[in-house]
Chain A
């Protein structure tokens, strides 16, 4: 699974430009399930298990990542951009970016030329530009089109038992879901690899309509704030304590029975101890007449940055918990 995670995080898939990721996923699930793609680019799969399920269950992960979109080119060849999804300006400054095959950097004023006050405050994001080395607008537009996406690059590296990479949100979910499909399953279930989560949980809305499930599980990554200086009450969830299970966030009030069943599973996991953020559950649980929904999230430090840090065991435990919940819901043992 970690080889797949390494390969998945290396792919570029800023919202709406996710084909490289979905092509990879198809190459991995082909032959292990029935699947189709929908008009938005979602992959919707049916995994046949040994037994028929008493509930129609959809397990979801999203294929997109946060990034940038090129909106204009200056006369001297610098690219102006907007953020796609939530990115802090400090994470933009002086970063290496990639626009397809083209390398660039986000340029700014060097520290020597800043006034005392300027040094302490982040610049406005719209004062930053991408430099691809072009010396004129024409030269830049020979290589880049308006609307192209840029990713902030970040290499996959192991740090102790932890993984540092870009786009762990939500390639971790993708890697887990691919693994579930490639393994034997006790029960039938549906799987969706959905687009455009970072711009408003959009792909999942269409996928959930199409599948029309009774129940859903979102496989996600969520903010871990277990960093130096944070009080225990502020940490939300901690690396190494297992996947986080949500009771409520800004998009969803989760199914209480599923939440409790997950915590009682005996598999190492932790409550997501904050009402913050949101994920595809927001779309899944409101689909059609309503869907009972659970989110299983890999705790991730520095989420929405090129250096997300997550724990290997948490990812493995998220996979185990997903299997436990699939079997429990589909057998009717979890009601």
Chain B
């Protein structure tokens, strides 16, 4: 399975709260390569034993943003709360999937022009109702607490550019599953654990408990970051096609950042640096302060339209990330220097 196929298969499955199709599927893929451990709600870890006891952790989160049902009315309209950051301005007339007793389609209400007075304020997701079309029968299928996800299927754009939902962070997960395949059967200088963690979008919660449990010596969090596009200044984004974004930040380990940069340079792997002034907004933030502290860095994939179902990335950037992490793992991490 090539990396595009892995990404697409992960993207069209969902993982949010009690919905865990993507995590189950990812676990099946990883189990082809090595022993896997299930942690917490849906986190899954693949463990590769090395020659020494030093443990390198590669993390990507398997959960996604979405919504949760907070009310079901008699007319078949639902009220939802967001689970993770969502641009509510883009919800009207958007088709989504409600994960009730069965999966059903639904559409967010769009206010017709004659009902909107002047400029609409989009400040409250609970005001944009979700239409199931089921009338009073909705309550037979949907209950408060059910999850709602975007529904766009992944497709190709030009060249190696692709678009779809939940690329944040199925792109990272796809890289790590591909990496597991590459490391499988190889003699490794140190232990390598690939972790697909839960509940990042709710405050990196899956990584908190998993990092404690797995107790790594160092870690790299693989996530997506802001990609270039109209209206976004060069300073706040990476370039699609510009390669792996290696993080540099006060909360990250500078030696680890530099080691990754060196490996990219030595092996001709395309990379760009991502300089952040403090916390990274990724699992790296919590892994770094797990137990007595873990040397941690981020490697990110540039992505447009983050947290929408129109996320866009280039497959060549996933390839750069895989190659970088493969070389790094084979070099034994910082212990191998």
> Which residues 241-257 of B have a CB within 8 angstroms of A?
241
Q: Give a binary string over A102-115; 1 marks a CB under 8 Å from any B CB, 0 the rest.
A: 11111111111110
B179 contacts partner chain A, Cβ-Cβ < 8 Å: no
Which of A159-167, A168-176, A213-221 is near enough to bind chain B?
Answer: A159-167
Q: Chain B contact residues: over half helix, strand or loop, or mixed?
A: loop
Top 6 closest pairs, chain A to chain B, by CB: A133-B161, A133-B157, A159-B133, A305-B93, A133-B158, A93-B90
Question: Within 8 Å CB of B309, what residues of A?
Answer: 94, 96
> Which residues 111-161 of A have a CB within 8 angstroms of B?
111-114, 119-123, 127, 129, 131-135, 139, 143, 154-155, 157, 159-161
Q: A90-B90, A127-B231, A133-B158 are in contact. Are A227 and B308 (CB under 8 A)?
A: no
Question: Within 8 Å CB of A32, what residues of B?
Answer: none
A191 contacts partner chain B, Cβ-Cβ < 8 Å: no
Q: Give a binary string over B95-131; 1 marks a CB under 8 Å from any A CB, 0 the rest.
A: 1000000001111011111110001111100010101
A236 contacts partner chain B, Cβ-Cβ < 8 Å: yes
Assess whether B312 is in contact with A127, with CB atoms less than 8 Å apart: no
Q: Which of A88, A129, A227, A228 has the most CB of B within 10 A?
A: A228
Assess whether A164 is in contact with B133, with CB atoms less than 8 Å apart: yes
Shortest CB-to-CB span from B233 to chain A, Å, is 9
Question: Within 8 Å CB of A88, what residues of B?
Answer: 92-93, 110, 113
Shortest CB-to-CB span from B43 to chain A, Å, is 24
Tally A residues with Cβ within 8 Å of B.
63
A229 contacts partner chain B, Cβ-Cβ < 8 Å: yes
- Chain B minimum-CB-distance residue to A139: B158
Which of B21-29, B272-280, B299-307 is near enough to bind chain A?
Answer: B299-307
Assess whether A107 is in contact with B129, with CB atoms less than 8 Å apart: no
B115 contacts which of A74, A93, A225, A302 (Cβ < 8 Å)?
A225
Shortest CB-to-CB span from B80 to chain A, Å, is 12
Q: Which of A121, A139, A274 has the most CB of B within 10 A?
A: A121
Shortest CB-to-CB span from A71 to chain B, Å, is 14
B152 contacts which of A90, A96, A102 (Cβ < 8 Å)?
A96
B310 contacts which of A96, A122, A123, A228 (Cβ < 8 Å)?
A96
Which of B81-89, B183-191, B202-210 is near enough to bind chain A?
Answer: B81-89
Shortest CB-to-CB span from B117 to chain A, Å, is 11
Q: Which of A106, A109, A133 has the most CB of B within 10 A?
A: A133
Shortest CB-to-CB span from B331 to chain A, Å, is 32
Assess whether A302 is in contact with B110, with CB atoms less than 8 Å apart: yes
- Chain B minimum-CB-distance residue to A105: B310
- Chain B minimum-CB-distance residue to A77: B158
Shortest CB-to-CB span from A283 to chain B, Å, is 22
A248 to B130, CA, bound (A): 31
Question: Within 8 Å CB of A112, what residues of B?
Answer: 85, 226, 281, 306-307
Q: A154-B95, A230-B115, A305-B110 are in contact. Are A113 and B232 (CB under 8 A)?
A: yes
Q: A228-B129, A309-B133 are in contact. Are A108 and B305 (CB under 8 A)?
A: yes
Q: Which of A95, A111, A276 has the most CB of B within 10 A?
A: A111
Assess whether A111 is in contact with B107, with CB atoms less than 8 Å apart: no
Shortest CB-to-CB span from A98 to chain B, Å, is 10
B35 contacts partner chain A, Cβ-Cβ < 8 Å: no
Question: Within 8 Å CB of B230, what residues of A?
Answer: 74, 78, 107, 127, 129
Shortest CB-to-CB span from B39 to chain A, Å, is 28
Question: Within 8 Å CB of B93, what residues of A?
Answer: 88, 90-91, 302, 305-307
> Which residues 279-329 of A have a CB within 8 angstroms of B?
301-303, 305-307, 309
Question: Within 8 Å CB of A161, what residues of B?
Answer: 133
> Which residues 246-286 of A have a CB within 8 angstroms of B?
274, 276
Shortest CB-to-CB span from A175 to chain B, Å, is 19
B132 contacts partner chain A, Cβ-Cβ < 8 Å: yes
Shortest CB-to-CB span from B118 to chain A, Å, is 11
A192 contacts partner chain B, Cβ-Cβ < 8 Å: no
B107 contacts which of A90, A107, A223, A307 (Cβ < 8 Å)?
A307
- Chain A minimum-CB-distance residue to B110: A302
- Chain A minimum-CB-distance residue to B228: A76
Assess whether B105 is in contact with A132, with CB atoms less than 8 Å apart: no
Shortest CB-to-CB span from B183 to chain A, Å, is 30
Additional A-B contacts beyond A107-B312, A157-B95 (6; CB < 8 A): A90-B91, A122-B122, A131-B157, A160-B133, A162-B133, A223-B112
A309 contacts which of B88, B107, B112, B306 (Cβ < 8 Å)?
B107
Q: Which of A105, A135, A139 has the most CB of B within 10 A?
A: A105
Assess whether B91 is in contact with A302, with CB atoms less than 8 Å apart: no
A105 to B165, CA, bound (A): 12
A227 to B114, CA, bound (A): 13
- Chain B minimum-CB-distance residue to A80: B230
- Chain A minimum-CB-distance residue to B91: A90
- Chain A minimum-CB-distance residue to B94: A307
B32 contacts partner chain A, Cβ-Cβ < 8 Å: no
Shortest CB-to-CB span from A4 to chain B, Å, is 21
B213 contacts partner chain A, Cβ-Cβ < 8 Å: no
A114 to B104, CA, bound (A): 32
B53 contacts partner chain A, Cβ-Cβ < 8 Å: no
Shortest CB-to-CB span from B296 to chain A, Å, is 21
Q: Which of A76, A134, A236, A302 has the most CB of B within 10 A?
A: A302
B37 contacts partner chain A, Cβ-Cβ < 8 Å: no
Assess whether A301 is in contact with B131, with CB atoms less than 8 Å apart: yes
Assess whether A110 is in contact with B312, with CB atoms less than 8 Å apart: no
Assess whether B86 is in contact with A111, with CB atoms less than 8 Å apart: yes
A173 to B129, CA, bound (A): 28
B163 contacts partner chain A, Cβ-Cβ < 8 Å: yes
A51 contacts partner chain B, Cβ-Cβ < 8 Å: no
A64 to B66, CA, bound (A): 34
Question: Within 8 Å CB of B75, what residues of A?
Answer: 228
A87 to B163, CA, bound (A): 23
Assess whether B92 is in contact with A90, with CB atoms less than 8 Å apart: yes
Question: Within 8 Å CB of B88, what residues of A?
Answer: 119
